[in-house]
Amino acid sequence: MAQIVELTPANFATEVLNSKIPVLVDFWAPWCGPCQMMAPILENLAQELGDKIKIAKVNVDDPDNQPLAVEYQIQSIPNMKLFKNGEEIASFIGVRQQASLRQDILDKLS
């Protein structure tokens, strides 16, 4: 069973930049309604695509995570960034339907 990884500046390089498989990073906050709507969609995608992609989350409200939010220019949430071989290859902003997000991810990885 695939699990969503909680990211911090301490594990970001290991979990994302040095990952052997692509990583979808969800920049979110607990107070964000649209972020809460995306949570079950991302959990489902983690189950569905677990062998093809890793899904991870960065809580931008956590002061320790502010450097990541700044580095990746997070100005609105939910903001999901797709990384492959340590490089950002796509960005998805706002609430997305599960089927369209899955297809967009697979299209970017093909």
Q: Which amino acid is at 84?
A: K
How confident is the model at residue 1, as a pLDDT?
A: 45
Could you give the residue numbers annotated as active site?
32, 35
Helix residue ranges per DSSP H, 1-110:
12, 33-48, 66-71, 98-109
pLDDT average, residue stretch 62-78: 97
Pairing of strands 5-6, 79-84: unpaired
Q: What is the pLDDT of residues 41-58, one digit of tens each?
A: 999 999 999 889 999 999
Total structural domains in the chain?
A: 1
Q: What is the pLDDT of residues 2-54, one digit of tens each?
A: 689 999 999 999 999 999 999 999 999 999 999 999 999 999 999 999 889 99
Return d(Cα 96, Cα 42) in angstroms, integer. 10
Instruction: Quickly count helices (H) and strands (E) in the chain.
Output: 4, 5
Domain that holds residue 58: 5-109
Q: What is the CATH number of the domain that holds 82?
A: 3.40.30.10
**What count of other Cβ atoms lies within 10 Å of the Cβ of residue 24?**
24
Determine if residue 2 is left, alpha or beta; phi over 0 gives left, psi from -120 to 50 gives alpha, anything else beta. beta
